[in-house]
Amino acid sequence: MAEIRKSYVTAATSAVSLLSQAAVAAAWDKPSALTEFSVAGLAGHLAHQVVRVRDVLDSDGAGHEPIGLLEHYSRSPWVEAGLDHETNVGIRRGGEAAAADGPAALIERTRALLDAQIAALPAEPADRVVHLKWSGWALTLDDFLLTRLVELAVHADDLAASVGVETPALPPEVIEPVVELLARLAVHRHGATAVIRALSRAERAPATISAF
């Protein structure tokens, strides 16, 4: 299996383990660390990253030319949209809907999907293209899995902070591509000088270099 595919499996397995912690179920109906997200909705959104992988594996990417990741994020309206934008409202509603049956059902579904993906991913061609029906464009499978790595790492931290547990420790093969992509996005959004200053000069650091 390609390295990014192994990294996705590692990150998704860690996410399922986090979802299974008693602290998540205990805080299910409470507000999360993310504005306007309940713990349940955030858990549903974290689990939904595995659903998205199932969706693209079921898609037919034939005839679609994949775009690069910077263009993918530039085209995605949620990146710079406010909380009340219809895209972000839809994301929150989707998370709540995914969690509606409670933590046990969410964990069972997510684990079953991941088990199926662990079996399927090694057989996928190295140049597999997947069509993102919800966006209208295509990525390579490995680029799409990298976007899921970012989502899994970021939202696992959000969920852990929401329920008062330690953020899951992820190995370098997960963290390094996530940090690299976030840095590329930060440079694309804020410029190289801002990012260099933020990382090296506290006295001249900009207020933010957030990738999103």
Tens of pLDDT along 85-99? 777 787 889 899 999
Q: Say yes or no to pLDDT of 151 above 80.
A: yes
User: In degrees rounded to 5, what are phi and psi of residue 128?
Assistant: -60, 130
Mean local confidence (pLDDT), 122-143: 94
CATH number, domain 3-167: 1.20.120.450
pLDDT of residue 77: 75
Q: Say yes or no to pLDDT of 81 above 70.
A: no
Q: How far apart are CA 174 and CA 5, in angstroms?
A: 10
User: In degrees rounded to 5, what are phi and psi of residue 84?
Assistant: -90, 0
User: Angle of helix 39-57 relative to helix 3-19, nearest 10 degrees?
Assistant: 150
Mean local confidence (pLDDT), 114-129: 96
CA dihedral 20, 36, 12, 70 (to 10 degrees): -170
Tokens of 22: 């008693």
Tens of pLDDT along 7-58? 999 999 999 999 999 999 999 999 999 988 999 999 999 999 999 999 999 9
Q: Over the chain, what is the mean pLDDT? A: 93
Residue 1 banded pLDDT, cuts 50, 70, 90:
low
Domain locations along the chain: 3-167
Tokens of 17: 């383990």
Tokens of 150: 């970012």
Tokens of 43: 């858990």
Mean local confidence (pLDDT), 54-63: 90
